[in-house]
Amino acid sequence: MSVFKFGLAADKVDTIRRELGANSDGYMEAMANAERAFFSAITTEQNRLQLDWLQLRMRLGYRLEQRELARLDDYSIAVAKNISAQMDGAQRTVVVVTADSLAAAMSDIKAQTWLGFDTETAASFQKGQRNTNPISLVQIATISHCYLFRMVETNIDLFKAALADVLGEGAAAVKVGIGLRSDISALKRDFNITLGPTLDINELMNHLGAPKQLGTIQITASVLKLKIPKTKKVTLSNWARPLSEPLTAAQQDYAAADALVALDCLFALFEQLQPYKSLWPNGLQQKLALLNPK
């Protein structure tokens, strides 16, 4: 990743590519080569750590272009990848929770220190109006599983008390997500559950110099170097379908990915940041002071 490219706003990159056309890749590569030569010339044993820290922050905060995203490998919900040597290769299972599997799901969830979290809501097709549809699906991820709670029909009363026990402020596990604000508000509105304690990956990225609200696609690409597919067909699909109609495989994969990837990004960030602990800015130190997912 180039510090030069980090300093360019996305619209400026688009302008360069539009004006230079077929020569734009050559220009970008020439600038990257010049930058590598510059850093090589100024790097010493005394400043190596500081310069490496600079380049890591630039890479994590850089908003990838569509062509760069397209070249990345796909994110997998089945197998952990690009997190750490200890976690890579771990198998994960997606479980659509039912009355019969609720006790086992709760037992696993309650044993965790960190939980990936997300929700899905049926789309509102009223242009310009805020989506006030109730939450239809709650996703909770552990290291080995992602549990999908369908919050429709009789499931609502069945699951609400159990979820309050593991998601509420009194629960010990930290709920980790990407862009949690709307989820927190909707969870309180629909089920009177105050989500806590929480950690939004966006906040960690902001302390590293990234723009606000990078979003799941960009954070996954920056932290894990993987591409997480997001299609409108699935995003806008019917999450509130009746229990007699199972979620499609595409819906299950989409929903599970959002919760699992938040947890993956947390562990991967700790792995990448740890060598530079002495250089962490005060805001990052304060945010991570009580957080240690190892």
CATH at 173 = 3.30.420.10
Whether 183 and 212 map to the same domain: the answer is: yes
Whether 152 and 239 map to the same domain: the answer is: yes
Q: Rounded distance, CA 206 to CA 214, Å?
A: 9
**84 within domain boundaries:** yes
Whether 225 and 278 map to the same domain: the answer is: yes
**276 within domain boundaries:** yes
> What letter represents residue 47's amino acid?
N
Per-residue confidence (pLDDT) for residue 52, from 0 to 100: 93
Whether 16 and 127 map to the same domain: the answer is: no
Whether 257 and 213 map to the same domain: the answer is: yes
Whether 177 and 203 map to the same domain: the answer is: yes
**pTM over cut 0.95:** no
Last residue of a domain, one of 42, 70, 98: 70
Whether 54 and 82 map to the same domain: the answer is: no
Per-residue confidence (pLDDT) for residue 283, from 0 to 100: 83
Whether 132 and 194 map to the same domain: the answer is: yes
Whether 270 and 257 map to the same domain: the answer is: yes
Whether 174 and 63 map to the same domain: the answer is: no
Q: What is the pLDDT of residues 86-105, one digit of tens each?
A: 999 999 999 999 999 999 99
**143 within domain boundaries:** yes
Q: What is the pLDDT of residues 20-42, one digit of tens each?
A: 999 998 998 899 899 889 999 99
Q: Tell me the average pLDDT across 63-87.
A: 94
Pairing of strands 174-177, 114-121: parallel
Q: What is the pLDDT of residues 205-218, one digit of tens each?
A: 988 888 777 899 99
**294 within domain boundaries:** no
Please compute, for residue 195, the number of CA atoms within 13 A of its CA located in the half-sphere on the CB side: 26
Contacts 24+ apart (CB under 8 A), 189-192: 189/134, 190/134, 190/135, 190/151, 191/135, 191/151, 191/156, 191/160, 191/163, 191/164, 192/164
Please count the other Cβ atoms lying within 10 Å of the Cβ belonging to residue 211.
Answer: 15
Domain that holds residue 276: 75-288
Last residue of a domain, one of 49, 70, 91: 70
Which residue in this structure is represented by tokens 């069945």? Answer: 158
Most confident of 48-52, 146-150, 282-286: 146-150
Looking at the structure of the chain, the number of domains it has is: 2
Position 82 confidence tier, pLDDT thresholds 50, 70, 90: very high
Q: Rounded distance, CA 273 to CA 276, Å?
A: 6
Last residue of a domain, one of 34, 49, 70: 70
Whether 59 and 93 map to the same domain: the answer is: no
Whether 46 and 179 map to the same domain: the answer is: no
CA distances from 173 to 83, 86, 140, 168, 285 (A): 20, 21, 11, 10, 20
